[in-house]
Amino acid sequence: MRIAVFGTGMVGQAIAARCDELGHDVTVGTRDPAASRARKVADGTSEGSFGAWLDAHPGINLATYADAAAASELVVNATSGQVALAALGAAGSEHLTGKILIDISNPLDFSAGFPPTLFVKDTDSLGEQIQTAFPDTHVVKALNTLAAELMVRPAQLAGGQHSVFMSGNDAEAKATVHTLLEEFGHTDVIDLGDISTCRGTEMFLALWVRAMGALGTEMFNIKVVR
């Protein structure tokens, strides 16, 4: 499958690398490909930078949001929540029409420091805002409740015996996402219902960040026991 992954950070890199490993045709989308490739890390070196990561993954392409979306069958939004709508807008609705969009972003607001608040909650969600902005795109919220490495390699924790959720309006789109999640190694995929149900998974982040602080690690998840 031709997959575009929006976002050059930890989540985008994890998703892109895993999809490439699984044999998908992967393009990372970014606002400015040249700037993303050249960006240094905090100490001014290239080691650990996105450019170095890209060099280590020669099968993965880099393009603008629009070009990446245009060439894709499925788009993964792995940008931060505060720039998600802008990034998707830069891709162009014409390049997202009729396509599946897996939205991993969360509406986290760090403007007042840590822990973050949510800039949308209760009566709306970022997933719903994306679906409203792109009504002809099949938005499926998934993978936003666990750390990047567990998103793509769940077997690292409890043999993969933990839960992941998805929300979306289109049953066929969710079936495709379910298959991709199984390729990643997820064995307990829970379909919560339409896109409005992602209000719950987005608000779960309020607990997730505090659990991370208490446990001192991101390597944890929840298991829904029936």
pLDDT at residue 48, as a whole number = 78
Question: Which CATH number goes with the domain that contains 208?
Answer: 3.40.50.720
pLDDT at residue 215, as a whole number = 97
Sequence-distant (≥ 6) Cβ neighbours of residue 81 within 8 angstroms: 105, 106, 107, 108, 119, 126
pLDDT in tens, 128-138: 999 999 999 99
Grouping H, G, I as helix, E, B as strand and the rest as coil, residue 52 is helix
Grouping H, G, I as helix, E, B as strand and the rest as coil, residue 37 is helix
Q: Is residue 220 included in any domain, yes or no?
A: no
pLDDT at residue 43, as a whole number = 52
Distance CA 174, CA 88 (A): 20
pLDDT in tens, 147-189: 999 999 999 999 999 999 999 999 999 999 999 999 999 999 9
Residue 31 has pLDDT above 80, yes or no: yes
The proportion of the chain whose per-residue pLDDT surpasses 90, expressed as a percent, equals 94
Average pLDDT over residues 82-94: 98
DSSP-assigned letters across all residues of 36-63: HHH---TTS-STTSHHHHHHT-TT-EEE
pLDDT at residue 42, as a whole number = 53
Q: Is residue 164 included in any domain, yes or no?
A: yes
DSSP-based helix, strand, coil % in the chain, nearest 5: 45, 20, 35
pLDDT in tens, 45-54: 666 789 999 9
Q: How far is CA 115 from CA 109, 193, 208, 209, in A?
A: 9, 29, 10, 7
Lowest mean pLDDT among 30-44, 74-88, 125-139, 200-214: 30-44
Average pLDDT over residues 49-67: 96
Q: Is residue 90 included in any domain, yes or no?
A: yes
The proportion of the chain whose per-residue pLDDT surpasses 70, expressed as a percent, equals 96
pLDDT at residue 46, as a whole number = 63
Find the domain containing 159 and state its range.
Answer: 2-215
pLDDT at residue 82, as a whole number = 96
User: Which is higher by pLDDT, 44 or 47?
Assistant: 47
Looking at the chain, how many residues does it have?
226
Give residue 39's pLDDT band: very low, low, confident or very high (50, 70, 90).
Answer: confident
Q: Is residue 225 included in any domain, yes or no?
A: no
Residue 44 has pLDDT above 80, yes or no: no
How many domains does one find in the chain?
A: 1
Task: Please list the residues that pair with 141 across neighbouring strands.
Answer: 103, 167
**Residue 33, amino acid:** P
Grouping H, G, I as helix, E, B as strand and the rest as coil, residue 74 is strand
Q: Is residue 114 included in any domain, yes or no?
A: yes
Q: Is residue 210 included in any domain, yes or no?
A: yes
Q: Is residue 222 included in any domain, yes or no?
A: no
pLDDT at residue 83, as a whole number = 97
How many Cα neighbours within 13 Å face the side chain of 8? 27
pLDDT at residue 102, as a whole number = 98
Q: Is residue 55 included in any domain, yes or no?
A: yes
